[in-house]
Chains A and B, each alone.
Chain A
Amino acid sequence: MTINFQNALGVHEQALLLRDKRTELLAANIANADTPGYKARDIDFRAVLNNRLGLEQGLSLRSTHAGHLAAGRMDQPGLSYRVPLQPSPDGNTVDEQVENAAFARNALEHQASFEFLNDRFAGLIKALRGE
């Protein structure tokens, strides 16, 4: 029997990477809380994770002619702008409370993914040692 890392680690490897990416986006939102015209962004976690796992393909346009343009942003499914809860005069859509809450939650979920992944590794190491 061989150890298959893909099976052993399961969904958690991709989940942790996505949590990383989402942390980066939320940090950018918080960093730009005072930038005029900045639009807050986030990812649809489920859609992107499914896409990464190959469960669901992103939308793509069929091109039947060399001059056809590819549709934009298809490489980044789920990356979208947040709908603001209230308007602001400078066009900024960052709501600091929303972003902070999302960031805190994402940090916890990152920790959860990490713990799951770490447990898998601990299990693998135990199996390899055979103690």
Chain B
Amino acid sequence: MGLMNIFDITGSAMSAQSVRLNTTASNMANADTAAGVADQVYRGRHPVFATVSASALRQVNNGFAQIDFSDNGAVGVRIAGIVEDDREVQARYEPQHPLADEEGFVYYPNVNVVEEMSDMISASRSFQANVEVMNAARSMMQRVLSMGR
């Protein structure tokens, strides 16, 4: 039934958005985590969203690994992967820092806090929109269940 699928669809979107919020939190928390070597420093992480068909979503929710994309009905969201930001990490000249290398450089993550903040707002707004949809679907369903009374 149509309305039942909505819970799967919006649920998948909410969990995807919360993964996004999670990566944002991780990026912000580590924005000032320094490292002595450039390739050991924390790099920003970003989720990649992809669509997934509703029937595949139900199978995932039921614990089956098999995914089929055969139906072209409504679709939910899944996290296709989490990618690390490949921009240059920041090298700062801080010779007094205990982690500084021989030349006096300390390496900081390539996290842009302003970008992360706007990403956070976007994720929480999208999450909110999906909560609204789920509430609306729930009340529609409750109405339908009361038919004939």
Asked if residues A20 and B10 are in contact (CB atoms below 8 Å), the reply is no
Complex CA gap A95/B101 in Å reads 49
A27 within 8 A of B: yes
Asked if residues A33 and B75 are in contact (CB atoms below 8 Å), the reply is no
Interface residue tally for chain B (C-beta within 8 Å)? 37
| 4 pairs of A and B residues whose beta carbons are closest in the complex | A31-B13, A20-B2, A28-B74, A35-B49
Hey, what's the 0/1 contact readout for B47-90 against A, CB within 8 Å counting as 1? 01111001000000000000000001111110000000000000
* Chain B interface residues toward A at CB < 8 A: 1-3, 5-6, 9-10, 12-13, 16-17, 20, 48-51, 54, 72-77, 122-123, 126, 129-130, 132-133, 136-137, 140, 143-144, 147-148
| Contacts A24-B5, A25-B74, A28-B74; A33 near B140 (Cβ below 8 A) | no
Asked if residues B49 and A34 are in contact (CB atoms below 8 Å), the reply is yes
Asked if residues A34 and B136 are in contact (CB atoms below 8 Å), the reply is no
Q: How far is the CB of B83 from chain A (nearest CB, A)?
A: 12
**Nearest A residue to B13 by beta-carbon distance?**
A31
A-B contact pairs, 29 of them (CB 8 A): A17-B2, A20-B1, A23-B2, A23-B137, A24-B2, A24-B5, A24-B73, A28-B75, A28-B76, A30-B13, A30-B130, A31-B12, A32-B76, A32-B77, A33-B129, A34-B77, A34-B122, A34-B123, A35-B51, A35-B77, A36-B48, A38-B51, A76-B72, A104-B136, A107-B136, A110-B140, A114-B143, A114-B147, A122-B148
Chain A residues positioned under 8 Å from B48 (CB to CB) = 36
Asked if residues A27 and B143 are in contact (CB atoms below 8 Å), the reply is no
**Nearest A residue to B146 by beta-carbon distance?**
A118
Which of A16, A21, A26, A35 makes the CB contact (< 8 A) with B50?
A: A35
By secondary structure, the B interface counts as helix
Asked if residues B9 and A28 are in contact (CB atoms below 8 Å), the reply is yes
Complex CA gap A35/B53 in Å reads 13
Which of A16, A21, A27, A73 makes the CB contact (< 8 A) with B137?
A: A27
Chain A residues positioned under 8 Å from B2 (CB to CB) = 17, 20-21, 23-24
Counting chain B CB atoms within 10 Å of each CB, the highest count among A16, A27, A103, A110 belongs to A27
Chain A residues positioned under 8 Å from B130 (CB to CB) = 30-31
Chain B residues positioned under 8 Å from A27 (CB to CB) = 5-6, 9-10, 74, 133, 137
Q: How far is the CB of B101 from chain A (nearest CB, A)?
A: 38
Chain A residues positioned under 8 Å from B73 (CB to CB) = 24
| Contacts A23-B6, A111-B140; A30 near B133 (Cβ below 8 A) | yes
